[in-house]
Structures are given as C-alpha cells and as structure tokens.
Structure 1
Amino acid sequence: MTTTDGDTASVSIQDMSKISGLSEATLRYYEKIGLIGPVPRDESSGHRRYGGHAVERIEALGCLRATGMSVQDMRDYLRFLDGDGGDGNATRMRELFERNVSRIQEEIERMHVRRRYLELKAQLWSARERGDAEGENRIVPEVARAREGLR
C-alpha cells in the first residue's frame, strides 16, 4: 500500500482494525478522545481513511493497548514521542515503560497466587474423590493460606 510519493496509501477503518488489532469501535473512541487526530474522510463515501502516519501511530497504540497500558499512559507516550524535549523525553519514556513493566510484574504475581489457589483446590477435591481424608486434611491449611493471598 504505497503511493507514488512513498507514503502509505490510506486504509479503511476495517483494514486499520486488522492491522492494529484494535476494534473499529476502539478506533472511533480513540479519535473521539483525541488519542489519534481527526481522521480524514473519503470524499465520495464519507468513510474514514487512515494515512501512513496515522497507521504507524495506531499500530503503536495497538501494541501498547495489548500490554494493558492505560489511555493516560498512551497519551503520555504520544506526548513524549511528539515532544521536542530531546533526551528528557527519553528519560520520561524509560520511566513510563519501567512503570508498566512493574505493573505487569505485579499482575503476573497475582496470577501465580490465583493459579496456586486453584491447584490446591483441585488437589483438595482429588483427595476427597479418592476418599483420602488424611491428604484432604493436609491440604486444607494450604488452601486457607492461599486464600489469604487472594485478598
């Protein structure tokens, strides 16, 4: 999709959705809240047409959203990206991404706690299924400790 001037040809909202992994509704929402600029419309149909710069920007937003990054952090990312702060923006970008790495790490840790709780519950019911009262009694305190970790 390249034009004679080397720019990426414009793409429809359906294609933009496929390229970015963002739904059409999300693309419209991001335009509405100003995360992406106003999208030019096809003169004959009135449909949105995303140009090369918008495609690149939205692909980046799709990646950031896939990581669970907040809209505010995406706004900051774009502001730092567009800013003229030089290395100061590199520091801000690093801090933004480090903060999100920490967020993901915390999510992973919570997922491990949830997984452990479920594993123990499966073991508890397996012991009950086998009629293994001793095994069941051994697992009950572990389940209680794991339950505390869920809170």
Structure 2
Amino acid sequence: MAAGTAQAWFTIQEASRRSGLSEPTLRYYEQIGLIGPVPRDPSSGHRRYDAAAMSTIESLACLRSAGMRVDGLRRYLQLLTRGREAAAEQRELFTEHADRLSAQLELMQLRLEYLRLKAELWDARERGDSEAEERVLPRIVALTERF
C-alpha cells in the first residue's frame, strides 16, 4: 500500500458475511493453515483480516461452495504459491473437480426427474387415473436403472 493509505481491516463477522463462510469455519481454516495466521487487534484480541486474507477467504469460499474438499483447497493454495510454474497442476486440479461436479450434477438431475415422476405417479393415484399411473410406472423403473 502507498504511504498514507489506510489499511482496510475486517472483523470475523464481516469476513463471514462477505464470504458466506461461518465464523467457526474461518477459525477452523486458520487452525489448519488455510488462512492465517490472522493478526489480532491489540486492544481487544479480536481477529482482523486484511484485504489479502479476504481475497484468499473469498476464493476458498467459492471453491468450497462448489464442493471442493479441504485437501483440494490446501492443494490449490500450495500450487498458488508457485504461480505460473504450477499452471498445469492447477488446470488438472480444477479439471478433476469440474469432472466430479459434473457427475454429481448428472446424478442430481436423475434424482430430480425421479421425484417429478413420483409426484406424477401419486397425482395419478390421487385422481384414480389408472391409465396415467400405468404410463408413469415404466418411466420410473427405467429411470431407477440409470442410478
């Protein structure tokens, strides 16, 4: 920062609100070395996050919300310190995670369709529409074979 420019500090509550990570998660991430060490306010002892820490926290929050596990977060941060030298490894990390997420999305789509078909089945049963019930049953069976 340039001389005379005030440092922006964030409390744990502000960091939590901005990132969507809970306060216990922020403390845990500090404990396991994903962030930190976090400076403390000398008068209160409360954590104070600077802009660089907030940038890291927001990146971790985004990756975590996409389902990346802690070991993946740790690997991402390790590779980040190596910069462009680790570009291929970063690409591999994100590609593998994207592939896992894609498979999970496909499974969720199947489950969503299953729920819709079951609702359709029970709607037909409620109406006493045996023809509609007979039409939906094979679709449910075919769908469950794809799980």
Structure 1 ranges of 4+ moved more than 6 A: none
Q: Which runs of 5+ in 2 are unaligned?
A: none
Q: Which residue of 1 aligns with 2:123?
A: 126
Shift of 1:63: 1.1
AA at the equivalent of 2:95: E
Q: Percent identity?
A: 50
Shift of 1:58: 0.9
Which digits, 9 at most, give the CA deviation of each residue in 1:50-83, with x for residues without a partner?
A: 1222111111111111111111111011001012
Q: Which residue of 2 aligns with 1:24?
A: 23
AA at the equivalent of 2:68: M
Distance 1:46 1:39 in 2: 11
Distance 1:3 1:19 in 2: 25
Aligned-residue Cα RMSD (Å) equals 1.9
**Superposed, which structure 2 residues align to 1:48-67 within 5 Å?**
48-67=47-66
Cα pair 1:127 1:136 within 8 Å, conserved: yes
AA at the equivalent of 2:8: A
TM-score of the superposed pair, with normalisation by structure 1: 0.88
Shift of 1:126: 1.7
Shift of 1:146: 2.1
Tell me, what secondary structure is at the counterpart of 1:134?
Answer: helix
1:15 and 2:21 matched: no
Distance 1:145 1:111 in 2: 16
Q: Which residue of 2 aligns with 1:142?
A: 139
1:113 and 2:110 matched: yes
1:100 maps to which of 97, 102, 123: 97
Shift of 1:145: 2.3
Tell me, what secondary structure is at the counterpart of 2:68?
Answer: coil
Shift of 1:128: 1.3
Q: Which residue of 2 aligns with 1:75?
A: 74
